[in-house]
Amino acid sequence: MIKHRRALSGVVVLAVVVAGEVVVGAAASASTGRDGVREVLERLTTVDGGPGALVRMDGRGGERVLTSGVADVASRAPVRGDSTFRIGSMTKMFVATTVLQLVGEGRVVLDAPVERYLPGVVRGPGGDGRVVTVRQLLQHTSGIPDYLDYLSVEDVLNNPLVHHDARDLVKLALAHPATGKEPGDAVRYSNTGYLLAGMLIEKVTGRSYGREIRRRVIEPLGLSRTYVPGDRSGIPGPHPRGYARVGQDVELLDITRINPTVAGAAGSMISNGADLNRFLGALVRGRLLRPAQLREMMRTRSSGGAAHGLGLDSYRLPCGGLYWGHDGGIPGFQTFGGATVDGRQATVMVNLYPGESAAQDGDTVAAVGAALCGRSVG
């Protein structure tokens, strides 16, 4: 959900627990494509400054979980392999899947204007619902500004339990100029588009986006540790504390409890590695969408080296080929997950966001790539 980063100084080097062994320090490699999973995990919890991390891997060879670091900097408790955590923008995959199921049922038309489903909602300098389409919301090509450009991370961290209404956040974004010459001209990441997608789901079905995700995705797949929390600020089940760094201070802020309505349909969900991998595998192998809608989801547009589909992005594997997935960031947690169409899935979690630098972003991606390639899992 939250993609903004600040240049933050200071590195706290933590002793990390990896598969029962205490390891101090990390050997950073110049070529992350050749790194093993264990090596990247150690880097996330030392060089990158994350308190703890985990990687869950599933595939034809079975399941495997590696953990590193601590779940709680005060108690020094290690990260549990079955940890539940906030997944940030990985929520977008669930929302897009729900919208595309409605497309398959003939209740939503991808290239119809948003106005058809949300009359009068998208109005202002930031966009016009009579021109912007549903597809453009899901692919970040609407030109509608990202509300997070006008709601700072510091505001969220200082007032973590405040309720945010999705309509108010949309109005905040639409009061500012559109980000492109016209809708569809380029990919420009906007969380606002997914708030609108959540509102669209509610308008079409008469139920909240959370209830529809539960009915259409969570329950059919048996995702017992996956939640759309609404206003609930806690995290159910065993979970690490979530931390953020504030300003130039190297001290960690415990931001475990947060009202996730600040993210809403753009990034509020909670899950764990096992559930996320099950979802990713089912999605890319056609268990959740009809073939026509899955093809639309996987039709990508490139932007800055990334390839964006409809709530699902494609990435190059370091061992060759492609995988599909999404990243996630919300105060306290950073996540990333991916799956191949031949049945491999991997999810990584770090209990720190925002962190110190872009290095953490790169290493979460490197961990998933190494896991999917089966590189030196230890």
Instruction: Say what the pLDDT of residue 251 is.
Output: 80
User: What is the pLDDT averaged over residues 138-165?
Assistant: 93
pLDDT at position 72, please?
Answer: 98
Residue 359 or 315, more confident: 315
pLDDT per residue over 168-186, tens digit each? 999 999 999 999 899 999 9
Q: What average pLDDT does range 312-337 have in this prediction? A: 96
Residue 211: what pLDDT?
98
The pLDDT of residue 19 is above 70: no
User: For position 29, what pLDDT does the model report?
Assistant: 32
Q: Is residue 36's pLDDT more than 60?
A: yes
89 has catalytic annotation = yes
Q: Which two tokens stand for residue 258?
A: 């947060």
User: At 214, which helix (H) or strand (E)?
Assistant: none
CA distances from residue 364 to 99, 146, 245, 282, 329 in whole angstroms, order as listed: 28, 24, 18, 22, 11
Query: How much is the pLDDT for 116?
Result: 98
Q: Average of pLDDT values for 202-225?
A: 98
pLDDT of residue 13: 23
Alpha-carbon span 26 to 359, nearest angstrom: 14
Cα 172 to Cα 224: distance, rounded to the nearest angstrom: 35
**Lowest-pLDDT range of 15-19, 67-71, 117-121:** 15-19
Cβ distance 340 to 334 under 8 Å?
Answer: no
Residues 150, 156: Cα–Cα separation, whole Å:
11
- The answer on pLDDT for 287 being more than 90 is yes
At 6, give phi and psi (nearest 5°): -115, 155
User: Is residue 273 over pLDDT 50?
Assistant: yes
Q: Which amino acid appears at position 227 of this protein? A: Y
- Spell out a b/e string for 14-43, using b for 16 or more CB atoms within 10 Å of the CB, else e: bebbbeeeebeebebeeebeebbbbbbbbb
Q: Which of 89, 142, 190, 268 is catalytic?
A: 89
* Better-predicted residue by pLDDT, 154 or 75: 75
∠ CA 83-310-136 to the nearest 5 degrees?
Answer: 130
**Rounded Cα–Cα distance for residues 276 and 98 (Å):** 16
User: How high is the pLDDT of residue 378?
Assistant: 52
Per-residue confidence at 247, pLDDT binned at 50, 70, 90? low
Is the separation of the CB atoms in 254 and 242 below 8 Å? Answer: yes
Q: Where are the alpha helices (DSSP H) in the chain?
A: 37-44, 91-104, 134-139, 153-158, 166-174, 192-205, 209-213, 219-221, 273-284, 291-297, 359-373
Cα–Cα distances (Å) from 262 to 43, 67, 101, 119, 133, in that order, read 30, 29, 26, 23, 24
- Is 83 in contact with 240 (CB distance < 8 Å)? yes
**How far is the C-alpha of 151 from the C-alpha of 158, rounded, in Å?**
12
Alpha-carbon distance of 266 to 198, in angstroms, equals: 8
10, pLDDT greater than 50: no
pLDDT above 60: residue 60: yes
What band does 306 get if pLDDT is binned at 50, 70 and 90? confident
Q: Domains plus CATH for the chain?
A: 16-327+337-352+367-373 (3.40.710.10)
The pLDDT mean for the chain works out to 89
